[in-house]
Amino acid sequence: MTLRNLPALSAQKVTPGASWELPERARASWDRRVSAAAGDTTITILDVIGEDFWGDGVSPNRIYAALRSIGNQPVTVQINSPGGVFDDGLAIYNMLRMHPAKVTTQVIGMAASAASIIAMAGDEIQIAKAGHMMIHNTQWVAFGDRHAMLAAHDAMAKFDETLAGLYIDRTGLDEKDVRAIMDGETFMTGSEAVDRGFADGLLEADITHSDAASNRSPLAEIEAALANGKALPRSERRRLIKNFVDSKPRAAGDDAMPGAGEEADGLAHLRIAAMKLSLNRG
């Protein structure tokens, strides 16, 4: 009997095979660091880079745990992040680069600042046509006298050198061009990121939609251009004319590109087609 006159506790008989341990799958579902469920090889990065005071954010620990759960399999990393801690971005980048299988990074929204570093880790980098990437110099907050400010400057110069080298290796651009992009805090659309070498291509869904549009008949393309009502550049006008002319029956062996006379003939056909479309609509 205790001083508080409480009943004594006794151990109850445990049913054979029962366990107080949670199954691994249940533990993983409650572990915020793990983003890949059993059998899933996709890691999602949909938050700031680096863990904040409340434990939110994408930390290197979380990516490490996800890669361990995936094992030696190809992995897809989907990114929509405004960026965050530079060092954490580098750590995640290097983890993905050391992964033994293929890594595909997909920018499904925004990959800005430190998130753009992670995007560079892909053996293949894809970006949404309606996505964005933002590149800039590293940023820091410093406090102290002039010596502390100079030390901060020197440290940030090293960070920028590392970052520029990473972008140069990935894009093949000259250092001068990469430095200018970083200095300008540059936002790029999906297509601009591909053109500049920051991505290898658009997402498969965007490519499929583009292919579907390009497979339209020449007449359908002309109708769409006329319905749009926008002034087309000369190169686009020439392409539409050529596609329309080439779609008409021609003499065998006539594979030559249209010259000035043929282009004029194509313009006549285009005007006829426009009149037919107007009559059909009426």
- Please report which confidence band the pLDDT of residue 150 belongs to, taking 50, 70 and 90 as the band edges: very high
Give the residue-averaged pLDDT of 101-113. Answer: 97
> Of all residues in the chain, what percent carry a pLDDT higher than 90?
55
- Please report which confidence band the pLDDT of residue 52 belongs to, taking 50, 70 and 90 as the band edges: confident
Retrieve residue 129's tokens: 């046509």
Give the residue-averaged pLDDT of 64-75. Answer: 95
User: How do the domains of the chain map onto residue ranges?
Assistant: 24-136+185-209, 216-248+255-281
The answer to whether residue 63 scores a pLDDT higher than 60 is yes
**CA dist., res. 103 & res. 90, Å (int):** 16
Choose the CATH number for 24-136+185-209 among 3.30.428.10, 3.90.226.10, 3.20.20.80, 3.40.1280.10: 3.90.226.10
Strand 132-135 with 201-202, pairing: unpaired
Report the predicted TM-score, pTM, of the whole model to 2 decimal places. 0.65
Backbone angles phi, psi at 20, to 5 degrees: -90, -5
- Closest by Cα among 51, 56, 23, 53 to 38: 23
